[in-house]
C-alpha cells in the first residue's frame, strides 16, 4: 500500500535552489475524513495554484488547504505540482499514512468478534437481497432508492435474525419501536422502511408477514427550510473556486435537486433558447428550466477555464461527473467561510429558489412546473414560508 506513494528521489535534485518553491503534503483526519493537507510559505503563485485545484477546501482548525484523500488523487497531485515547477515535499506523508492504516487495523480487529455474527446472518439473506435488487432495477427505481431500500431490508432482516418465512408483523412492530422510535428517527424514515418491507415481502410465496395490514405513521407536515436572499448572496460570494461557485449558483438559479445538477451534460445547456434540459429527474420525468443571460455568461466563463468534456460539472477524473459527497463538502466549507450557522443542505437552495420566486409575485403554477412537482399541493407548501405574504397579515392584537 505504502509503495503507491514512492516517487523518484532524483527529482529533488533536478531543480535549482531558486526553483524550489516548496509545497508540503501531510496526511491527517478531519471531520472523520482522510485528507491530504497542503502547506506552503506565503507565495502568490503557489496560493493561486492550490486554490485552482478541484475539490480544494480550507480548514481553519488545521490552518491549511486540504483535499479528500484518495490514493490516485495523491499521485496525480504530486505530478501536478511538478508540472507547475513547484517542489512537492511529502517526506512525512508516508509515515503519517502508515500510522493511520495501523490504527485502522487495530480498530478493525477489535470489531471482528461482533462482525462475525452479523456476517453469518447477512450471508443467509444474500440471495434474497440480490433478487430484490434485481427486481427494483427492472422496475426502473432510481439508484438512490434501490440503495436505500436494500440497506433498510438488510438492517431489518439482520435485526430479526430468523428465517425470512418466520418474520411477521410483530417483528416489524418491535423493530419500529426499538430502532426507529427508540433512536428518534424520522417519520419519513419509517415510511421508507414500510415501502421497502411491502415491496420485499409481497414477492415471497411463503410468508408470515401480512402486508395489507401494515399501518403507516401519520404524515409529517414540515415547512421547507429557506435562506434569505442576503444569506444566499453571502454564501455564493464566499466561494473562491469558480467550479464550486457555479455548481451552487446553478442549483439556486434553476431550483435544481443535487442529482439533477450532477447529471447535467454539456448538451443539456441550450444557450440559443435560454433553457436547461433536466432529463429523467424524480419520477423519470424530463423538464425544461429557463436560464438567464447572466447565468449563461457565467457558465461560458466557467467552461473556458475548466473545459469539461462530457458532464457540465466533472470531478477530478476527466469524463466522470462530480460526486454528491464532494459537493456536500463544498457547501459545508462555504457555510463556514460565510459564517452561516444554520444546518444548511443543498436542498435548502432549491427551497429558497421557490420561496423567492413566490415572494416576487410568480404564479404558483409556474413554480410547480419549474420544480417538476406532480401536484400543486406539493408546491403550495411554499406559501407558508413566504415572509412577504406573512408580513402583510394584520394581526388582531394590533387593533386592541
C-alpha cell recorded at residue 327: 459537493
> Are residues 217 and 187 in contact, defined by beta-carbon separation less than 8 angstroms?
yes
Helix (H) / strand (E) element for 303: namely helix 293-306
- Closest to 361 (Cα-Cα) out of 386, 385, 396: 386
User: Which entry of 257, 302, 322, 351 is annotated as an active-site residue?
Assistant: 257
| SS3 assignment, position 86 | coil
What is the longest distance spanned by two Cα atoms in the chain? 86
Relative to beta strand 33-40, strand 57-59 is: unpaired
- Does residue 179 carry a catalytic annotation? no
Which residue's C-alpha cell is 500500500?
A: 1
Distance CA 83, CA 52 (A): 14
Please enumerate in sequence order all residues whose Cβ is within 8 A of that of 263, keeping only pairs 6 or more positions apart, or say none: 279, 280, 311, 321
Angle CA 100–104–109, to nearest 5: 150
Whether 347 sits among the annotated catalytic residues: the reply is yes
The reply to whether 282 belongs to the active site is yes
Name the DSSP letter for residue 5.
Answer: G
Say whether 265 sits in a helix, a strand or coil. strand
Asked whether 201 and 165 are in contact (CB, 8 A), the reply is no
Place of cell 434474497: 128
Q: Is 97 a catalytic residue?
A: no
Told to judge if 13 belongs to the known catalytic residues of this protein, a careful annotator would answer no
How far is residue 50's CA from residue 373's CA, in Å, rounded to a whole number?
Answer: 41
- The strands making up 269-270's β-sheet, listed across from edge to edge, are 269-270, 275-278, 287-290
Q: How many CB atoms lie within 10 A of CB 260?
A: 23
Q: Please report the beta strands in the chain, taking only residues with DSSP state E, as ranges in sequence order.
A: 22-30, 33-40, 57-59, 64-68, 87-89, 269-270, 275-278, 287-290
Active-site annotation holder among 62, 82, 279, 373? 373
Q: Which of 243, 350, 351, 356 is catalytic?
A: 350
306 is catalytic: no
How many other C-beta atoms can be found within 10 angstroms of the C-beta atom of residue 292? 11
Of 100, 282, 287, 306, which is the active-site residue? 282
CA angle, 344 as apex, 186 and 360 as ends, to 5°? 110
* Residues with a known catalytic role: 257, 282, 347, 350, 373, 382
Amino acid at each position: 500500500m505504502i509503495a503507491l506513494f514512492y516517487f523518484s528521489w532524483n527529482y529533488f535534485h533536478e531543480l535549482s535552489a531558486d526553483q524550489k518553491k516548496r509545497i508540503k503534503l501531510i496526511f491527517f483526519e478531519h471531520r472523520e475524513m482522510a485528507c491530504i493537507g497542503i502547506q506552503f510559505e506565503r507565495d502568490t503563485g503557489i496560493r493561486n495554484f492550490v486554490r485552482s485545484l478541484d475539490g480544494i477546501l480550507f480548514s481553519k482548525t488545521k490552518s491549511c488547504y486540504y483535499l479528500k484523500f484518495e490514493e490516485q488523487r495523491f499521485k496525480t497531485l504530486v505530478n501536478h505540482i511538478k508540472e507547475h515547477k513547484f517542489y512537492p515535499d511529502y517526506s512525512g506523508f508516508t509515515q503519517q499514512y502508515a500510522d493511520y492504516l495501523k490504527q485502522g487495523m487495530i480498530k478493525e480487529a477489535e470489531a471482528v468478534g461482533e462482525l462475525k455474527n452479523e456476517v453469518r446472518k447477512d450471508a443467509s439473506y444474500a440471495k434474497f437481497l440480490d433478487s430484490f435488487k434485481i427486481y427494483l432495477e427492472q422496475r426502473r427505481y432510481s439508484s438512490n432508492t434501490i440503495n436505500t431500500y436494500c440497506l433498510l431490508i438488510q438492517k431489518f432482516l439482520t435485526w430479526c435474525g430468523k428465517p425470512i418465512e418466520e418474520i411477521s408483523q410483530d417483528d416489524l412492530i418491535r423493530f419500529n419501536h426499538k430502532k426507529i422510535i427508540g433512536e428518534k428517527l424520522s417519520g419519513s424514515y419509517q415510511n421508507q422502511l414500510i415501502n421497502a418491507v411491502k415491496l420485499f415481502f409481497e414477492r415471497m410465496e411463503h410468508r408470515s408477514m401480512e402486508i395489507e395490514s401494515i399501518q403507516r405513521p401519520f404524515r409529517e407536515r414540515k415547512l421547507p427550510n429557506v435562506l434569505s436572499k442576503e444569506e444566499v448572496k453571502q454564501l455564493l460570494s464566499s466561494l473562491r473556486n469558480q467550479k464550486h461557485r457555479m455548481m451552487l449558483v446553478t442549483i439556486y438559479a434553476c431550483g435544481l435537486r443535487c442529482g439533477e445538477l450532477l447529471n447535467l451534460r454539456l448538451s443539456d445547456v441550450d444557450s440559443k433558447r435560454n433553457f436547461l434540459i433536466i432529463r429523467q429527474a424524480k419520477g423519470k420525468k424530463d423538464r425544461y428550466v429557463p436560464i438567464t443571460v447572466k447565468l449563461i455568461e457565467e457558465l461560458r466563463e466557467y467552461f473556458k477555464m475548466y473545459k469539461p468534456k462530457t458532464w457540465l460539472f466533472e470531478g477530478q477524473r476527466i469524463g466522470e461527473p462530480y460526486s454528491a459527497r464532494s459537493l456536500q463538502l463544498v457547501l459545508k466549507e462555504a457555510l463556514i467561510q460565510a459564517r452561516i450557522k444554520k444546518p444548511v443542505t443543498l436542498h435548502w437552495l432549491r427551497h429558497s429558489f421557490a420561496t423567492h420566486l413566490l415572494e416576487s409575485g410568480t404564479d404558483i403554477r409556474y413554480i410547480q412546473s419549474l420544480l417538476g412537482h406532480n401536484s400543486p399541493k406539493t408546491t403550495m407548501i411554499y406559501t407558508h414560508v413566504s415572509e412577504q405574504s406573512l408580513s402583510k397579515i394584520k394581526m388582531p392584537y394590533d387593533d386592541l
